[in-house]
Amino acid sequence: MSKQQSKKAKQLQESNQSKKAQSQNTQKQQNTQKQQKISGEQYFSAEPSSIDERRTLHVTLRDNDVTVQVSNGVFSASRLDLGTSVLLKHAPELPKSGKFLDIGCGWGPISLAFGLESPEAEVFAIDVNERALELTELNAKNAGLKHIHTSLVDDALKEENNSKESNTLEFNNFDIIWSNPPIRVGKEILHDILLTWIPRLKVGGKAYLVVQKNLGSDSLITWLAENLGESYSVEKYASSKGYRVIEVKRN
């Protein structure tokens, strides 16, 4: 076989492997959606009606091995979500201290990664799902992390409004925001979530979002740049396994 033929054969093999990986990722997403339909609810339900069946999961979060509790009715109830895994792998090293926000915390993988990597940081985890917050609190406690604070989204916004008089804006001036945002809530709600929380970055602060390519990651980059304004820079930071990691910086 000539060098040119060998090169073409190698390229064909790599292409087939890439297509196979993409097909497997798509199948995983379809299986997750099927499980959600069977349960009769979505993970963004405020009070999941499914039975709270706790299960133990062993995961690795940014090189830290952790044992966590997961349950029905929360996002990625049986494993570490692939998108979250991509975000944890490709997002940059965290500062040792600061104020961090996890939007849509689920059972807490991002918040736990924050707490384990940056023990001097104050971590805020928000979600609309009460069961998700219970799990995040439990998993943080079991990991010995006392600096992770959980809150329902509505309560966080109320606390911020109430704290303005005392100049203690708890849910504001974040150094870091990470999120695997709930794309399936629909564009209108998703956009409202992002425009509510990303502007709470402090000047110089950065947000990292992970979004599946075939669910509109590139169009979301354009939308964020147009709607956040000139005080923010938005760009693709990394790509892996069918996902994009988006970086938003407040200048």
Q: How many Cα atoms occupy the beta-carbon half-sphere of 105 within 13 Å? A: 33
Find the range with the poorest average confidence among 41-55, 98-112, 173-187, 221-235.
Answer: 41-55
Q: Residues 87-104: what's their mean pLDDT?
A: 98
DSSP line for 70-102: E-TTSTTTTS--HHHHHHHHHSPPPPSSSEEEE
pLDDT digits (tens, 9 = 90+) for 163-182: 555 444 488 999 999 999 99
Question: What homologous superfamily is domain 55-250 in, according to CATH?
Answer: Vaccinia Virus protein VP39 (3.40.50.150)
pLDDT digits (tens, 9 = 90+) for 116-136: 999 999 999 999 999 999 999
For residue 173, what are its two tokens?
């001036």
* 54 Cβ neighbours under 8 A, 6+ residues apart: 69, 70, 71
Q: Where are the domains of the chain?
A: 1-39, 55-250
pLDDT number for residue 52: 93
The rounded distance, in Å, linking the Cα atoms of 183 and 191 is 9
Q: Does the predicted model carry a pTM greater than 0.85?
A: no
pLDDT number for residue 184: 86
Say if residues 186 and 154 touch (Cβ distance below 8 Å): no
Tell me the average pLDDT of the chain: 87
Confidence of residue 11 (pLDDT cuts 50, 70, 90): low
From 157, 221, 167, select the one nearest 193 (Cα to Cα).
157
In single-letter form, the type of residue at position 19 comes to: K
pLDDT number for residue 231: 97
Residue 39 clears pLDDT 80, i.e. is over it: no
Cα three-residue angle 239-113-143, rounded to 5 degrees: 155
The rounded distance, in Å, linking the Cα atoms of 96 and 195 is 27
Long-range contacts of 30-38 (CB under 8 A, 24+ apart): 32/76, 35/77, 35/78
pLDDT number for residue 43: 67
Confidence of residue 50 (pLDDT cuts 50, 70, 90): confident
The rounded distance, in Å, linking the Cα atoms of 150 and 130 is 10
